[in-house]
A and B are shown apart, each in its own frame.
Chain A
Amino acid sequence: MSRPRLLDTIVAQATPRGLGAVALVRLSGPRSWEIAAGMMAEAGNAQGNGNPLREWPVRSGRLRTLYRPGTREAIDQALVSVFRAPASYTGEDVVEIYTHGSLSIPTEVVEGCRVLGARVAEAGEFTQRAYLNGKMDLTQAEAVDDIVRAASPRARAVALRQLDRGLSRRIARLRSELIGLAARLVHHIDFPEEDDAPVPVANIAAEADGVMGRIDRLLATAPAGELLREGATVVLAGPPNAGKSSLFNALVGSERAIVTAEPGTTRDAIEAVVAMDGFPFRLVDTAGLREGESGIERMGIEIAHRYLDEADAIIFCREVGDANGAKGWREAEWKGWREWRCPVVSVRTKWDLAGRKMVPDGDEIPVSAHSGEGLAALKDRLGSMIFGGLTRGGREVGGVVTNRRQADHLRVARRELESFAGALRKGIPGEFASTHLKSAESALEEIVGVVGEEEILDRVFGDFCIGK
Chain B
Amino acid sequence: MADLFDIQLLHMTLRTVVPVLLAALGGALCERAGLFNVALEGMMLAGAFGAVVGSFFLGGAGWGVLAAIAAATAIGLILAVLSLNLRANEIVVGISLNLLVVGLTTFLMRVVLGATGTFHHPDLQGLPQWSPEWLQAVPVLGRLLSGHTPVVWAAYLAVPILTYFLFQTTIGLRLRAVGEHARAAQTLAVNPLRMQYLAVVLAGVLTGLAGAQLSLGQVRIFQENMTAGRGFIALVAVIFGRAHPTGVLLASLLFGLIDALGIRLQGVGLPSQVTGLLPFVVTLLTLVALRGRGLNRQGTA
**A pairs with B:** no
